[in-house]
Amino acid sequence: MSNTINAGVAAVKVLEEWGVKHIYGIPGGSINSFMDALLHEKDEITYIQVRHEEVGAMAASMHAKFTGHIGVAFGSAGPGGTHLLNGLYDAREDHVPVLAIVGQFATTGMNMDTFQEMNENPIYADVAVYNRTVTTAEQLPHIIDEAIRQAYAKNGVAVVQLPVDLGTKEIPSQAFYSAANAYRKLPRPSLHFADIESAVEILENSEKTVIYAGIGARGAGDDIVALARKIKAPVAVTGIAYDVFDSDFEGLLGSANRVAIKPANDAFPNADTVLFVGNNYPFAEVTNVFENVKNFIQIDLNPANLGKRHHNDVTILGDAGDAIREITRQISEKAETPWWRANLLNIQNWRDYVTKLETKTAGNLQLYQVYHQINQHAAADAIFSIDVGDVTQTSVRHLHLNPKQMWRTSNLFATMGIGIPGAITAKLDFPNRQVWNLAGDGGFNMVMQDLATQVQYNLPIINLVFSNQQFGFIKDEQEDTNSGYFGVEFAGVEFAKIADAMGAKGYTLTRLADAKTVFEHALADVANGLTVLIDAKISTDRPIPVESLILDDKIHTAADIAAFRKRYEAEDLVPFADFLKAEGIEPEYKATDLGGF
């Protein structure tokens, strides 16, 4: 047995020990020793050649969101590395582990302003929890191992700069080092029972409670539903936490603000108590969402987030499921309450509204009917990679999600273009599951070159582009805040032709009457292993702004209400105040403050 090992190969073997299966990137002179190591190890780890490093880094970040495991991407010195940054910031903002390996000129030319050579550490200093340049070949495997441990421990981005010559060197076999077998997650903290008792006391004495779940409640959906039904408290979610629950749970209020639905925006101003579970809602302080709330109870695992978004009356450090189950065990059951009934009716009224839009059979093709087709064809465990823009909002309104499915996007950094890379990694990670990329034409335009990557790796993904020749989400903001539209409309693209030219199967859907057939053909193609794209040429109708509803005659004129109802096809939408009054509850009238938008 040889008592030396190639340093680059040793680095790749560390990745293998940590269970890394795919690595995304583009070669370059400054990263070629690493490419040689990947060639050597190609049976153990699969290199995915993307068409832009940004897509590689976003795929790595989305891999971490879909699987919980570290994602790995690389780029060459200078531009190859800086192209990674959007994906790396996405991982940083969503607190998921990603490792980036960035090329560097050989040590012989470092610090001498040679080609593509610069001091790279400052570039990544802000995005990374760990950021080092390798200086000897012997260090290389150790630094990769350290980077992975740090990324996992700190839920963030680790960046390793690798001078190209060091990857070519032979090092003693003993220098290979991996701590993968020592990896452990921190145990869940044990609950502090006095806090649970305080929470139970408040919840028993509150009449209008909302349980407000974030993605920290993943896996605890059934437990929360059991508590909700026991204490008659409807459940709101953050915009990214819909798949924690079955979409047909009768008490699901949905999310608040703009990526939102009416029932949640209605409920908060009228609630007296909020049970904030695994939730770090970033609009809390900058909007008036909790203005009328008297009791605030928080359950969170991360001490740094306790009390962060609102003053807590009760603080429970712990796992969402553990705490919810314990509260449910201790709390007494409430009989049906006016609050529960009013919210259930409001939720049902909203559901009737969206169903009516989705199932229209006449008129222009709107996004709603496209979602109807998606719901008809989505597998019970489908994976949705969601781009940023109107599609973020409309997908949570119209997809019938459940906890066996996965819905993931760029949550807080909110970078456009995340749909394609997310779908690539989802299909590689879960080859037997149905994978959708849902994108607007704005987001798709930014990364569409990587449709070629889906084809190159034979990934049967359904790419759905909602084409309306505009940045719809921003256009709607401009309608509300600006003197006119500017920079939000653009020339259309025949995406189906691009798909065909790249070797995928493209469909253009323009007429509502064709929707069913187009989806049937597209889904058949996917079943036959093809990459598919459906370019749905939808109307430019604005989705209803649930943050500024004009429905209530106590606040708005009859003419304004009529115009609003007509524009948003909302003839049957009932003001929440009506449901509350019918139950004997005096409604709070208050405009939503969008907090700077």
Q: Which residues sit at the interface with Mg ion, rule CB under 5 A?
A: 440-442, 468, 470, 472
Q: What is the DSSP letter of 132?
A: E
Q: Find which of Mg ion, ligand FAD, none residue 300 binds, CB within 5 to 8 Å per kind.
A: ligand FAD
Residue 101 sits at φ, ψ, to 5 deg, of -110, 120
Q: Find which of Mg ion, ligand FAD, none residue 206 binds, CB within 5 to 8 Å per kind.
A: none
Which among 578, 562, 534, 541 has a CA at the least distance from the CA of 357?
A: 541
Which among 383, 373, 427 has a CA at the least distance from the CA of 409?
A: 383
Binding mask 278-297 for ligand FAD (x = CB under 6 A): xxxxxx--------------
| Burial of 58: CB neighbours in 10 Å, binned 0-12, 13-18, 19+ | buried
Q: How far is the CB of 145 from ligand FAD (least distance, A)?
A: 26
Q: Are 314 and 213 in contact (CB under 8 A)?
A: no
Measured CA to CA in angstroms, residue 365 lies from 160, 359, 489, 544, 566 at distances of 49, 11, 19, 16, 17
Measure the CA dihedral 393/531/490/544, to 10°.
-20
Q: Which of 45, 51, 116, 351 is catalytic?
A: 116
What are the residues whose beta carbons fall under 8 Å from the beta carbon of 406, sequence distance 6 or more?
Answer: 66, 243, 383, 384, 426
Q: Which of 473, 519, 576, 579 is catalytic?
A: 473
> Binder to ligand FAD among 174, 205, 302, 517 (CB under 6 A)?
302
Q: How far is the CB of 445 from Mg ion (least distance, A)?
A: 9
Q: How far is the CB of 575 from Mg ion (least distance, A)?
A: 30
* Closer residue to Mg ion, CB minimum distance, 277 or 438: 438
Q: Find which of Mg ion, ligand FAD, none residue 441 binds, CB within 5 to 8 Å per kind.
A: Mg ion
> Binder to ligand FAD among 163, 214, 234, 543 (CB under 6 A)?
214
> Binder to ligand FAD among 45, 414, 474, 555 (CB under 6 A)?
414
d(CA 49, CA 32): 14
**Distance linking the first and last C-alpha atoms of the chain:** 64
* Closer residue to ligand FAD, CB minimum distance, 177 or 268: 268
Transcribe 167-194 into DSSP letters. Answer: GG-EEEGGG----GGG--PPPPPPP-HH
Query: Any catalytic annotation for residue 388?
Result: yes
Q: How far is the CB of 254 from ligand FAD (least distance, A)?
A: 9
Q: Which of 45, 129, 455, 474 is catalytic?
A: 474
Taking phi first (over 0 means left), then psi (-120 to 50 degrees means alpha), and beta for anything else, what does residue 78 get? left
- Count of beta carbons in the 10 Å neighbourhood of residue 336: 9
Query: Any catalytic annotation for residue 258?
Result: yes
3-state percent breakdown (helix, strand, coil) of the chain, nearest 5 = 45, 15, 40
How many chain residues touch ligand FAD (CB under 6 A)?
Answer: 33
Transcribe 493-521 into DSSP letters. Answer: --HHHHHHHTTSEEEEE--GGGHHHHHHH
What are the residues whose beta carbons fall under 8 Å from the beta carbon of 240, sequence distance 6 or more?
Answer: 214, 215, 407, 408, 409, 411
Examine residue 319 and tell whether it contacts ligand FAD (CB under 6 A). yes
Transcribe 219-248 into DSSP letters. Answer: T-HHHHHHHHHHHT--EEE-TT-GGGS-TT
* Closer residue to Mg ion, CB minimum distance, 82 or 394: 394
Q: How far is the CB of 470 from Mg ion (least distance, A)?
A: 5
* Closer residue to ligand FAD, CB minimum distance, 9 or 320: 320
SS3 440: strand
Query: Any catalytic annotation for residue 474?
Result: yes
Q: Which of 115, 193, 490, 597 is catalytic?
A: 115
Query: Any catalytic annotation for residue 115?
Result: yes
Binding mask 238-277 for ligand FAD (x = CB under 6 A): xxxx-------------xxxxxx-----------------
* Closer residue to Mg ion, CB minimum distance, 78 or 440: 440
Examine residue 392 and tell whether it contacts ligand FAD (CB under 6 A). yes
Q: How far is the CB of 310 from ligand FAD (least distance, A)?
A: 12
Q: Find which of Mg ion, ligand FAD, none residue 305 binds, CB within 5 to 8 Å per kind.
A: ligand FAD
Query: Any catalytic annotation for residue 473?
Result: yes
Query: Any catalytic annotation for residue 477?
Result: yes
Q: Which of 134, 171, 370, 388 is catalytic?
A: 388
Helix (H) or strand (E) holding 47: strand 46-49
Q: Find which of ligand FAD, Mg ion, none residue 258 binds, CB within 5 to 8 Å per kind.
A: ligand FAD
Which residues bind to ligand FAD, rule: CB under 6 A?
A: 214-216, 238-241, 255-260, 278-283, 299-302, 305, 319-320, 388, 392, 409-412, 414
Q: Could you give the residue numbers annotated as active site?
A: 53, 115-116, 258, 388, 473-474, 477
